[in-house]
Amino acid sequence: MPKITYIDNSGEARTVEGKNGMTVMETAIKHNVPGIDADCGGACACATCHVYVREDFLGKVGSPSAMEQSMLDFAENVKPNSRLSCQIKISDDLDGLTVTTPESQH
């Protein structure tokens, strides 16, 4: 199963096993990984599951949809590698995916 690593704002890393088809957000919630709030539960409606994708995986996670891009355009502390983790679906290709969570989701 693909392994996903979450690094929080203080630099602490947590690696958990993901499941194909689940999102990076859901996987964090399932494993009690802090730093991702996901208030809307993955409906791409709240932008509280913001993560920074490590550069070497940017190509593999694909590009954000128009809706996600718009949500990101106006989120706080956005960087070129920002994504909403509720919109990244896990697959074997993403084994080793590493994301960093921002200081705050609000």
Q: Which spans of this chain sit near other proteins (rule: CB under 8 A)?
A: 22, 26, 29-32, 34, 39-41, 43-47, 67, 70-71, 73-75, 106
Query: CB of residue 39 vs other proteins: minimum separation in angstroms?
Result: 6
Task: Give least dist CB 104 to other proteins, A.
Answer: 11
Q: Among residues 106, 105, 101, which one has the least CA distance to residue 9?
A: 101
Determine contact, residues 10/34, Cβ cutoff 8 Å: no
Shortest distance in whole angstroms from residue 106 CB to other proteins:
8
Give whichever of 46 and 94 is closer to other proteins, judged by the CB atom: 46
Long-range contacts of 62-70 (CB under 8 A, 24+ apart): 62/88, 68/44
Q: What single-letter DSSP state applies at residue 48?
A: -
> 26 or 61, CB closer to other proteins?
26
Which is nearer to other proteins, 30 or 55 (by Cβ)?
30
Q: Rounded to an integer, what distance in angstroms lies between the CA atom of residue 88 and that of residue 58?
A: 11
User: If you ran DSSP here, which 8-state letter would residue 56 be given?
Assistant: G
> Least separation, in Å, of the C-beta of 72 and other proteins?
9
